[in-house]
Chains A and B, each alone.
Chain A
Amino acid sequence: MKTLPLIIFSIAVLAQWAAPLSQIWTYEKVLAKGTLIKLKCTAPDPYDPLRGRYLAVRPNQREAPVPAGMELKQDTQVYAVLTTGADGFATITSLSLTPPASGDYVRVKSRYVFNEKALIDWPFDRFYVNEKLAPEADKWFAENIRSVQGITAEVRVFNGRAVLEDLSLDGKPFREILKARLK
């Protein structure tokens, strides 16, 4: 067997493993070491042809205050400082161009600035669900969209990265509620 094709093939194989493994490494670390924060959100039910059904998760907070003197260009990555309120829900209280020295923060994309507020894109926007649960999730969502409690996104954050761990309603995990409804 020729050496050059073997070398190229080995590099390709390594690269093919590096891509998923680096993701696994990064997000496992977030899940293991990250702080759990809760965000109020909405979640309709679309479909991804490659990855199946998911709930499109949209945290209620879409705007964040821009500190005085900070100039933000369109589509810039910034660090959003998260503060948990008395109700247990986290909100973005400030934006920073560099990672804050302490506290919980998450890297977000700032779309544009208007009236000293930046429209932001959260680093997560979907929660994948099993095909069997998806139609029930849709119904559940329609019934609870206007409830006082609202749907809560449970997110782990660590070093600016975030992983959406679960969705819940009134403290109960989303999957458990759906499974109970299906019984």
Chain B
Amino acid sequence: MNTSHQRWLLEQLPQWEREGLLTADAARTLRERNAVDDSQPGLAQIVMGALGALLIGTGLITVIGYNWDDFSRPVRLLFASLPLLITQIFSFRELQRGAASTAWVRETAALLQALATGACIAIVSQIYNLGGDWPDFLFWWLLLSLPLVWVLRSHAAAIFYLIGIAVWSVNQAEHWDAWYHSALLYPVLLLGLAPFWPGWPLRWQLGRSLQRVGTLSLCAGLAAAADSSVSLRMHSSYVAFGSLVWLWTLTASALLLLPFKADASSDKRRLYPHVTVSGFILLALSFATSFSDFSCGTLSKLEMVLTMPWAWGCLTLVGLFALPAIRQQRWALLGVSSLSLSPLLALLAGSRAEPILPWLMTLHLLGLGILLIVLELAGRRGSPRLGATLICVLIIARMFESEFSLLIKGLVFIAVGVAFLAFNILMSRQLKKKQAATV
């Protein structure tokens, strides 16, 4: 249940109590279970605050971009400094107000100060006709804005930082002169947000918007970091796609199993976008590996990739994150995550690895599809529709590759289609039965 639903429920409770629909005890239990944390800003507040700050900030940058030729250098420098000073005073006032400060004002103050910092650096470099690359500018801008995330507990500034470090990392992905110039810096930059969400597992529930942006940032940043690790090893900005496939698969595996504080009252997949996104990436890459052309490229680079620290780091993380997942019996997630291990198993076959990997991956995906269905039927948390989809897609893909006649292929497609629809109807009925039993 999201915050707006909880607020609606809390508004209805007094009325329901008066009408005798609920006892006072039941109402109290519902209030405790659905308490809304008003110290965390809602999405609408963030959006409104951020939009206002963005408009002012963009206006500021555009005014600066006009380049006031008629003013002397000191006057133009004053132009650059004044917005920064004003926004710093504004933020300080909000900091002084402490708990009395409204969430959206805090958000606006933090974002405005971050934008004013960027504008100030930009105008100074304009005045002195300095060159410089935008990634360097972005890097320093992000570092100077980071403390505002901690101090003002600003979600908007955190989102700005998450997007910024992802953009910077993707741009630096193929830098191979030094690790600290490359996207390998992404995990370190991400750690910069640690004071914003202290504790392990996370002490606070992150807002939905932060979770989504965080997931996208993690996916882009970590993919770029994997790319950089290969670039640094090869001393070249050209990286063969085949050498990245397994690294990305492994990275997605670690991300999928990332332990978060479990929320028993919510649907985990909806609550944690990193599970959905990394799971999708993992399935897509694994499915592609079930084709021989694709798996050849992956296997040809696998031995080299296995000697890289990034691969060992990810393998260690997968191992570490798997332990709490086993303890919590998250078998479906463990099953999806295990897909990254198939290429390693195929490697054990030595010279025969190349023909084996596509079939091994097909079997692995088939087994996973069955597992996802069986888990649900056994009353555990599975994903029967995803399992059925996986099996269907696998059958269709293998049929396309096969030498069977068009007639046989067509009949198989019809049979698979009918079975898929029948399964869907069966699952819908089961769900209705479950819901009726709960009521």
Q: Which residues of A contact B (CB under 8 A)?
A: 1-2, 5-6, 8-9, 11-13, 15-17, 19-20, 23-24, 27, 48-54, 75, 123-133, 163-164, 175
Q: Would you call B140 and A16 a contact (CB within 8 A)?
A: no
Question: For residue A12, which residue of chain B has the nearest CB?
Answer: B147
Return the chain B residue nearest A163 by Cβ: B128
- 30 CB < 8 A contacts A-B: A1-B95, A1-B96, A1-B98, A6-B95, A8-B151, A12-B151, A13-B92, A15-B144, A16-B113, A16-B117, A16-B144, A19-B121, A20-B81, A20-B124, A23-B121, A23-B128, A23-B130, A24-B77, A49-B65, A50-B134, A51-B122, A52-B126, A54-B129, A126-B129, A128-B126, A129-B69, A130-B68, A131-B66, A132-B69, A133-B69
B92 touches A51 (CB 8 A): no
Task: Contacts A11-B147, A123-B131 given; indicate if A51 touches B126 (C-beta within 8 A).
Answer: yes
Q: Would you give the shortest CB distance from A12 to chain B, in whole angstroms?
A: 4
Given contacts A23-B125, A48-B65, A50-B134, 20 further A-B contacts (CB under 8 A): A1-B95, A5-B95, A8-B151, A12-B151, A16-B84, A19-B120, A19-B144, A20-B84, A20-B124, A27-B128, A50-B65, A51-B122, A52-B64, A52-B66, A52-B67, A54-B129, A124-B129, A127-B129, A133-B69, A163-B128
B88 at the A interface (CB under 8 A): yes
Query: Could you tell me the distance in whole angstroms from the C-beta of B392 to the nearest C-beta in chain A?
Result: 47
> Count of B residues near A, CB < 8 Å?
41
Would you call B128 and A130 a contact (CB within 8 A)? no
Alpha-carbon separation in the docked complex, A1 to B177 (Å):
45
Using Cβ atoms and an 8 Å threshold, which residues of chain A touch B325? none
Contact B84 A17 (CB under 8 A): yes
Residue B371 at the chain A interface, CB threshold 8 Å? no
Name the distance in Å between B234's Cβ and chain A's nearest Cβ: 15
Taking a contact as CB atoms under 8 Å apart, the answer to whether A8 and B147 are in contact is: yes
**Given A5-B151, A12-B147, A52-B67, CB of A125 within 8 Å of CB of B88:** no
Contacts of A5 in B (CB 8 A): 95, 150-151
B30 in the interface, Cβ–Cβ < 8 Å? no
What is the minimal beta-carbon distance from B231 to any residue of chain A, in angstroms? 15
Interface of A is mostly: mixed
Q: How far is the CA of A96 from the CA of B118 in the complex (A)?
A: 35
**Complex contact A164–B129 (CB within 8 A):** yes
B13 at the interface (CB under 8 A from A): no
Interface-central residue, A9, A17, A20, A163, by most chain B CB under 10 Å: A20
In the bound complex, CA of A53 to CA of B126 (Å): 10
Please determine whether A50 and B131 come into contact, CB atoms closer than 8 angstroms.
Answer: no
Of A9, A15, A125, A131, which is within 8 A of B95 by CB?
A9
Least CB distance from A144 to B in Å reads: 20
